[in-house]
Structure 1
Amino acid sequence: MLPSVDAAPFQFDQKIYHEDVKTLASDEFEGRGPLSKGEKLTVEYLENAYKAMGLEPGFGDSYRQAVPMAKITADQNMQLKIDDLVFNNGSDFTARTEQVLPQLALNNSDVVFVGYGINAPEYQWNDYANLDVQGKTVIILVNDPGFATQDPSIFKGNAMTYYGRWTYKYEEAARQGAKAVFIVHETAPAAYGWNVVQNSNTNTKYTLVDEDKNQSYIGVMGWIQHDVAKQIFKAANLDFDKLKDTAAKPSFNAIPLNLKANLSVKNDIELATSYNVAGLIPGTSQGDEYLVMHAHWDHLGKTIKDGKSHIYNGAVDNASGVAGVMQLARHFKQQKLAPKRAILFTAFTAEETGLIGAQYFAAHPPVPTKQIVSFLNIDGMNVGKGVDYILRYGENVSELETYLDNAAKAQGRSVKADPRPQNGLMFRSDHFALAKQGVPGLMFMSLGDTDPEYISHKYHQTADDYNPNWDLGGVKQDLALISDIIEKLANNDDWPKWIEESDFKKRRAEDAR
């Protein structure tokens, strides 16, 4: 029998929750794409809701934080040519750029296989050792050698590290001077099918803009199908599968394929401003210390394919989380006693295209990061029936895990380790941008854990729609648990610390109080 949360101080208003998700995930909001009509409606909805609750503006005198962005729409009529091989966009490969340029081309670019594309001194691993890839095209395997070998002594074994994330691979290749990256897609190590790659990379994308129009970013950000990689390696008289096995060993050395890549990426560029949204409950005796409760408001927006309109409403990912944060904001605003610490309720833009709103917030927070105690993040809720456990992402990462353990125990629930550590969810949502600034966090996510069909049939697809028949028992119990954690953190003197040695821990030490 599942534990009851009726006695918890948090009171769940199921009717309002349904209405919030229904509205945010409606066709009228057009998939909540940044810099679209959907953004305008979403930001207004959140701002008006926070005003109605009586929350103060989260950014000085405004509920909005302007996020300067570029909206980049690549012409999908392109082909990738590698020597005599010709590949079709969408079905065989995807390519885009975050450089703010109307056109980018690969002209007879040398192709090099760099294994997992990792430079990690702490793991004694460098796929770029003694290698010059300046201006070249690199082919990289997805995930990291730990997953490939399932050897716990290599990286973290089955659990993905940040070195396995596609974002890292693009960043490191850019640091090495490469012109283009093509990541080889395989469903198991990527944690999603090719349809997710295709949907996420063949429509409008967004990026922050620096003074140099992002020239330090990688030129071409690409993916290729597994079978395409095999064809390319065969053309180079090499066996892809054998080299893939070799790449998972520390002795691996990068291999020039002696092939040339040609590709032209043409972009329609719009410079515009998107918005993060935040409402504040001020603190009392420790009002200069902040706790942040968050869910990203954006999804994939609307696209036109084959002459038809396709709306990615993102009901679970992440209208469900935004509605959850709004419930928590209403609850804490209605309490008779104000919290000792300030509570900031946030919703960031452009999470789906690379944590862009979170990165901007982390670099331009309303208060210094040393005043932010922790960052709690919802990225998809269990809209089905309640369960007798709560998922924990990461292990022995920070002392916030103790808060999770205690809150779960109070509900009679257990804490269950991430069932898919190989997916690297620790690095795929907005809390990670704050972690890189030293702020410890917890992520609450139920994408596919209670609905096995979600990842394969709904995640980043048009089928992620609102359903009035959702049970919402899982939402109710998880919001009660999160409320318990917020209440404790907002009213004690604790500063949860990082446990494992990491760049996050080093960054926090720089902000030591």
Structure 2
Amino acid sequence: MLSLALAPFSLSAQDKEQNVNLTSVAHHIESLASDTFQGRGPLTEGETLTINYLAKQYQAMGLQGGNSHAQQSSPFAQYLQPVPMAQITPDQNMRLQIGELSFIAGSDFTARTEQMNTQITLKDSELVFVGYGINAPEYQWNDYANVDVTGKTVIVLVNDPGFATQNPSLFTGNAMTYYGRWTYKYEEAARQGAKAVLIVHETAPAAYPWSVVESSNTGSKYTLVDNEQNTSKLPIMGWLQLAATEQVFEQSGLNYQQLKKKALQSTFSPVTLQQTANLRLRNTISQATSHNVLATITGSKYPDEYVLVGAHWDHFGTKQTPDGDIIYNGAVDNASGVAGTLEMARMLKAQHDIKPFERSILFINFTAEETGLIGSEQFSKGDIIPTKNMVALLNIDGMNVLDKVDYILQYGEGLSDMEDYLARAAKAEGRRVKLDPRPQNGLFFRSDHFSMAKQGVPSLLFMSLGDTDPDYIAHKYHKAADDFSADWSLGGVEQDIKLMVDITATLANSRDWPKWKMASDFKASREADLAK
């Protein structure tokens, strides 16, 4: 049986401060990705084992708990932030009726909700095609400008006009903006007062086949629960197969492909369809509390200013099958990232003990990233630290466990000053900055740092899921095969930890407040915070 106690390591003060202890890193990955932790599923015994392991490690390093508001009910209480969650399971025995057409859940469409409501009904709901469903003042684009969709069902296109045209002067061309993400489509429709959204699925602009949509939206989903029982959330969040969409438009005497082309113009006017939608969405709901893990190195001069270092601790847990249990250990995604935060904490604490940092450094291991960035969304609300006190976030979501490389990946381009910090640190290591080779996938918008970015906190994503191991995405990513290997060299882990320690230490001894470069809601939020 794998021992969960951290083996003692004999290191000099200089070694602790400057050198990455790969033996310790490997131990953390192997431990967290062992069957003992049951796949680190939120709200399971695997969560209890994981958060206790992390809190114990931080405590042994001499870091303080990051939640000063916690009640002293357990030895690790101040290392934990409660995250109230709901598990919502939609009944798949439902039909979407549009005019004379009837569609089957799963194969033709998906529908779910984040509202705490056991039944939501569409009855003769008016259908409106609103193009891309984007309201982006900085791009002089508003698909909702000439229509009132209150209480209606809107049909929207996935991704954004830049991807469809590959025109770099339209949005950002091939690189997806947040306006192209399905999460944005739901958020904007909710702001517009819609009752339901049906996103049209097409494989190229979505970046994944219908099978991914079906598997991700037909089972149980977790959501953060607010004080209003999520009543501000969109009542019905759905997807519609392309073939089904074309039938719906044809039934109304419209040509979907022609209207899709018209939607590429900012002057596009929404189109009301002749038929209405009918659907009864029934849900089974249960509630429980998960936890983020927080640990702090307290600054000597500006203790209320925080440089954040994060990585999600969760994975997909254990799934029961007729042939036995399958454990999704998530070694690379994201036991490697959590091990990275632990090793960074050890190294930065050693530096701090020699010469204290002026600002505080907060290490955060988020829960429920895999089910919708839930733990980071809770933290971004500012209950632990106001966003105006967050300097920046470095977020790790899968490390390069293989050999060293001569580059560091950058997700997004021209977004924030954090890219300048990345370039400087990479140059100091003799490495180059390499832009995301798949910008159309919008990876910058798909990990925990984005919860903070939406609140204005500039962030960097450190992710290596397939660029050094092409087999990983095809056969291991989000699969049971993502296991620890003693054959890993961890050379990439070593160089990336050094780079991130460099950036973190620089910010912790700086008076700089990184800003956003590109006009956006993120930039406006940051400017408002800095003006306080």
Q: How does 1:20-419 map to 2 (within 5 A)?
A: 20-60=28-68, 62-304=78-320, 309-335=325-351, 336-337=353-354, 338-419=356-437
Question: Shift of the alpha carbon at 1:344?
Answer: 0.7
CA offset digits 1:451-484 (Å, max 9, x no partner):
3343444433444333333332221211111111
Of stretches 227-236 and 396-405 in structure 1, the one that deviates more from structure 2 is 227-236
For 2:47 and 2:279, the matched residues in 1 are separated by 33
8 Å CA contact 1:374, 1:441 repeated in 2: yes
CA offset digits 1:255-277 (Å, max 9, x no partner):
22323333332222112222111
Does residue 1:482 correspond to 2:490, yes or no? no
Of stretches 219-228 and 297-306 in structure 1, the one that deviates more from structure 2 is 297-306
Q: Which amino acid in the other structure matches residue 162 of structure 2?
A: G
Question: Shift of the alpha carbon at 1:413?
Answer: 0.7
Report the TM-score when normalising by structure 2. Answer: 0.89
For 2:397 and 2:180, the matched residues in 1 are separated by 20
Q: Which amino acid in the other structure matches residue 159 of structure 2?
A: N
The answer for the alignment partner of 2:10 in structure 1 is: none
Question: Shift of the alpha carbon at 1:390?
Answer: 0.5
Question: Shift of the alpha carbon at 1:9?
Answer: 5.9
For 1:80 and 1:370, the matched residues in 2 are separated by 45
The answer for the alignment partner of 1:3 in structure 2 is: none
For 1:159 and 1:8, the matched residues in 2 are separated by 40
Question: Shift of the alpha carbon at 1:146?
Answer: 0.8
Of stretches 32-41 and 396-405 in structure 1, the one that deviates more from structure 2 is 32-41
The answer for the alignment partner of 1:426 in structure 2 is: 444
For 1:343 and 1:349, the matched residues in 2 are separated by 19
Distance 1:433 1:365, change over 3 A: same
The answer for the alignment partner of 1:435 in structure 2 is: 453
For 2:494 and 2:369, the matched residues in 1 are separated by 25
Question: Shift of the alpha carbon at 1:58?
Answer: 0.7
CA offset digits 1:58-104 (Å, max 9, x no partner):
11160011122222122233333333433333333322100001122
8 Å CA contact 2:310, 2:395 repeated in 1: yes
Where does the alignment leave 5 or more consecutive residues of structure 1 unmatched?
1-6
Question: Shift of the alpha carbon at 1:304?
Answer: 4.8
For 2:181 and 2:490, the matched residues in 1 are separated by 32
Q: Give the 3-state SS of the residue equivalent to 1:416 in structure 2.
A: strand
For 1:140 and 1:311, the matched residues in 2 are separated by 37
Question: Shift of the alpha carbon at 1:311?
Answer: 4.2
Distance 1:9 1:193, change over 3 A: farther
Question: Shift of the alpha carbon at 1:43?
Answer: 1.5
For 2:51 and 2:334, the matched residues in 1 are separated by 14
For 1:140 and 1:284, the matched residues in 2 are separated by 51
For 1:193 and 1:467, the matched residues in 2 are separated by 30
Question: Shift of the alpha carbon at 1:309?
Answer: 4.7
For 1:407 and 1:27, the matched residues in 2 are separated by 37
8 Å CA contact 1:374, 1:440 repeated in 2: yes
Distance 1:199 1:459, change over 3 A: farther
8 Å CA contact 1:196, 1:460 repeated in 2: no
8 Å CA contact 2:17, 2:348 repeated in 1: no
8 Å CA contact 1:71, 1:206 repeated in 2: yes
8 Å CA contact 1:317, 1:380 repeated in 2: yes
CA offset digits 1:332-364 (Å, max 9, x no partner):
223342322211110112222332221221213
Question: Shift of the alpha carbon at 1:310?
Answer: 4.7
Distance 1:234 1:310, change over 3 A: farther
Distance 1:231 1:156, change over 3 A: same
Please point out which of 2, 22, 43 is paired with 1:14: 22
CA RMSD of aligned residues (A): 2.5
Question: Shift of the alpha carbon at 1:497?
Answer: 2.6
For 2:318 and 2:103, the matched residues in 1 are separated by 26
The count of corresponding residues between Structure 1 and Structure 2 is: 508
Report the TM-score when normalising by structure 1. Answer: 0.92
8 Å CA contact 2:146, 2:270 repeated in 1: no
Of stretches 171-180 and 35-44 in structure 1, the one that deviates more from structure 2 is 35-44
Q: Which amino acid in the other structure matches residue 180 of structure 1?
A: A
